[in-house]
A and B are shown apart, each in its own frame.
Chain A
Amino acid sequence: MTDAHPEQTAPVGADVPLISNQNVMMNISLIKEYHENWTKAQTQAFVSAGLERLGLSHIANRRNPALTAEERFCAMLLRAAMIRNALIVIDRPFQIFPHLQDATFLLGALDGISDLFMRCFILDYCWMKDKYGALCR
């Protein structure tokens, strides 16, 4: 994935929602179609593979309101990963899934698609560092 292109910021956060009148597939495909002019078939295959790696193939045709917090986060993460040479910035992830006690799910999701982005930054309040465990030490 490394090439001559510089890293591009790819935000993930509660303030960067999915498009509500499009399903997950269309939301994620949009980035490749818009920036890299991929065909629908190409993007669908690529996105389907990414969802499968996250174990979320079943949410491809669902829209934002029909998703759980974890599914929503994964969809947002995958969308951000569609940016070429993505520098993923996750803004206060516990605003998206406030019911989770730690970042295990978050780290698992990042591990699942680690080859799709260059780097990842997680921004959160300092009093939340306990939730991130070993990541903050």
Chain B
Amino acid sequence: MREVAVIGVGIQKWGELWNRSIRDLFVESASKAMTDAGVDHIDSMYIGCMSSGLFAAQEHLASVLADYLGVTPAAAARVETACASSSLAMRLGWMEVASGLSDIVLIGGVEKMTDVTGEEATFALASAADTEYEGYNGVTFPGLYAMMARAHMDRYGTTLEQLSQVAVKNHANGALNPDAQYPFKVTLEQVMNSTMVAEPLRLLHCSPITDGAAVVILCPADRAGEFLKDRPRVVVTGSGHATDTIALHSREDITWLKATEVAAKRAYDMAGVGPGDIDFAEVHDCFTIAEIIVTEALGFFERGQGGPAAERGDTAREGSRPVNTSGGLKSKGHPVGATGAAQIIEVTRQLWGEAGDRQLPNPRRGLAQNMGGSGGSTLVHILERR
């Protein structure tokens, strides 16, 4: 297999973008990425989108987006693993370049979430869980993570302050990210007194509803020099993908994310590294409890120690293992299908040294973890600077 490099990225400031359609969002980020890479064509593209049907009443999205980007007759596919959709796009694009089938591949994601009411969005998101045996009985998406949180608190003594500290930290990072939907700091008191959503999770423990798109251009590493100019070479060294049961109640351990553990192991093994070799990570903090469990399942901390680690500041920008320097889903926003590609962008920018005020000092190796549903699927990618 050929080694694959990232040669261009594109994203806009995310938010409630009333005046832009799903096509506009995608084309804006995709054009930026193609300009950034300096490519005038693509061989193919993979676009992650969770539910253009329920959110925007538009299916056959790959053709819509290829048409409006002006790249027909390039091959295009829309792929879906709920909130992990654009990480799946990344994996498929990586496979296509690595295999030698194509040279210039565009991967990305888009979600247009504000054309529907809040209730309709809640319904659409709940379809990432078991519609017949979870959603039917009235459990919402935040409700599933709330039940994971309650079980984690009961077993390990994880506290509300620790859950809240994750939001405080991610907003502090997001305040330095000009693309973030909510680029401002929040205090522990604000988080702990925000509106209740699903006990014990409050509004500021939850990622928001967001419109946005994120796009990355890939090419074979041995051609990257044609496009990168003075930028360091950033290559994909690990890719892991795993599934778990769709219903939370079917899992052996409700405080664990098995698909994350397995996907991470696959990515670590491919890259020939372990959790201790990762300088920083972007992880799927759809709810703050998710970041705590994910940092355990990635092997950054022992089981049950994700909460104390967050409280100590280990995952802060200046900590031993910075997590979500972009602001995470919490502050940057969570247009579900676009989130994974945006994680790849943040990891790449950190490795390029282009992360602005939130730049880490000289990182070499970053990881992106993106999951769908309550953990029913997870993708992990490892990127390294050469």
Partners in one complex: no
